[in-house]
Structure 1
């Protein structure tokens, strides 16, 4: 690479065609067509046999009593929070997608933001313990980028406090905790099925739980709270999943294990190519766990890498490589949640990570050459870091 120059300095981009951050892998239409045709002929486009089959298949995969399909992970979270009667402080990380917190507000609860472990990117158990006071009503944790949270430790804290533990498992399909699929832990786990995930239904979500009472409330809640007699047991939503989404989701489930295994292989290739590059850090995954790698995220230490995360992003964009900076700004800095923000400086690890984290291209089907191109671009940019920094 000695005769090359980064594209941001006038060199030829390494990517001959744009390398996208995500690209959904979907079943062939021919495999879906008979069920889609049957749905059209029957006229049963919602609340039909395919939804029931999809829910059962997911429940079997996760090893849970109930897998309730909903219109999105966000509505699943909102229904779960509301069904549990949360209307006061709830411990939650700020390094997460905004829906984790917006659903709390819609349900009538209030977020109590705590810091994260920058190595795992998940909620810090010590921070949770420190934030637990008698008025706290629940703990919400996230399996960030598909990396299982510290489940046993969080369950112990929740059990000791006598409060629910909910996992935002939006990134969770394909992840394993101690060899078991995430989904059956805590009080409930809420998954996303949007096109950036490993299991795709187009749009949609799953609420997984072993709590019979909670499952009943969510099933009625996705139907406005309908008691079956055109009345309402409680104030729910229209959060139904259409038959078409259920068909796509069930066939996508067949591809899930292969997708998870392939992403683990791609993650290993990224690590092998980049671990010796100064200033690059990697998400820590427990040896007994499997990260789903919904995203492959590294951290950039400007002091050693020579460039900030944002300058690296700009240089990679010039090479034709798309990246993303999750979650900058963190939720506690969003205008909608400013009233709940903790004292400035009280989330130092979160504030550091949002400026250091960078997600690289990760798909369920990638060419090894694509990963090599991304890694070569990062190393080339690092080698020219001083010159790039001076040009800005």
Structure 2
């Protein structure tokens, strides 16, 4: 079976060496030696001034919304994983959807201003499949209307835009270190900000509000990464160049051999150093997608309808119609992509799509 992705697992003895350090320290959580080391190494690797490692990629969004959302209206995208919208609703804010750009698939910055009301407090946009939003336009709008900007960068590990880490844009940005991501800690994530006072609030918010063992800054939750998660991250990080190179080979094969006359692929924003995180294709119709999906599964190939459905259509959002997002969500399919996908398997996938599209 060929799955849509496959988790990179480092040599087990290398993971065990990191875990042994935690055993030697007899310290498994509460920001031990491994978490601190991972944070330092990631700051260097990514080129960011501040980083807080977390237990997953969703709690950073919840913390960001708790600190910046003020239970107001949050302008957001209908084309993302459900966690983006769920975090808004969970933090007692109201999602206000803005449709997406038909090629970049990120929020359409030209439609944001029309959605702003006196209740708007923030913009929460997703760098879709690691493809950056128009961060300059969004920043200009946010400054004009005194709004905060939060980016869901779940897919964006290693992405650079105009020579800067994509995590350096916005008031707060998040990333996921889930097992399906390029870099992972099994479960895990991180949150980023440039403002030191904001980072301080984010830090105590992710640790129950602690200000030392017996005092508290304020309200907080438990979003800390464990030493066992950090051990995995420390074992995976040295292999990032290899992972990216192998994924790049697969994407180049897709680009060269897929019949793209009836398929749309993701348009990467100009001035972006991308990370080869996903390979989505958009069919001319949902029926065509379903036909190809059936043929792939008959041959043991498991793609993913990602993102589907459009988030404005799920029960608890009650969003207005978003025609571009709804159309693309019904026609988009992420093809298998991983560091171990062979050329022969890639050729098999391509042949099935080319003969059934």
Deviation at 1:301, TM superposition (A): 0.3
Question: Which is further off, 347-356 or 84-93?
Answer: 84-93
Aligned match of 1:270: 254
Aligned match of 2:340: 365
Aligned 8 A contact 2:18 2:235 in 1? no
2:164 to 169, 174, 180: 180
Aligned match of 2:305: 325
Structure 2 counterpart SS, 1:361: coil
Task: Give CA-to-partner distance per residue, 1:90-119, whole Å, 9 cap, x none.
Answer: 110011111111112222221111101121
Change (3 A) 1:279 1:292: same
1:289 to 272, 285, 300: 272
TM-score calculated relative to the size of structure 2: 0.95
Aligned match of 1:26: 9
Aligned match of 1:139: 123
Deviation at 1:257, TM superposition (A): 3.3
Structure 1 counterpart SS, 2:296: helix
Structure 2 counterpart SS, 1:335: coil
Aligned 8 A contact 1:87 1:109 in 2? yes
| Partners of 2:252 and 2:162 in 1: CA distance | 19
Deviation at 1:270, TM superposition (A): 0.6
Aligned match of 2:88: 104
Aligned match of 2:22: 39
Deviation at 1:268, TM superposition (A): 2.0
Aligned match of 1:385: none
Aligned 8 A contact 1:174 1:256 in 2? no
Question: Which is further off, 217-226 or 164-173?
Answer: 217-226
Structure 2 counterpart SS, 1:309: helix
Give the paired residue count: 356
Mark the runs of 5 or more structure 2 residues left unpaired by the alignment: none
| Partners of 2:344 and 2:158 in 1: CA distance | 24
| Partners of 1:159 and 1:268 in 2: CA distance | 39
Task: Give CA-to-partner distance per residue, 1:276-321, whole Å, 9 cap, x none.
Answer: 3432111101342133232210100039xxx521222112111221
Aligned 8 A contact 1:115 1:124 in 2? yes
1:204 aligns with 2:188: yes
TM-score calculated relative to the size of structure 1: 0.86
| Partners of 1:335 and 1:68 in 2: CA distance | 33
What is the 5 A alignment of 1:44-123?
44-46=27-29, 47-123=31-107
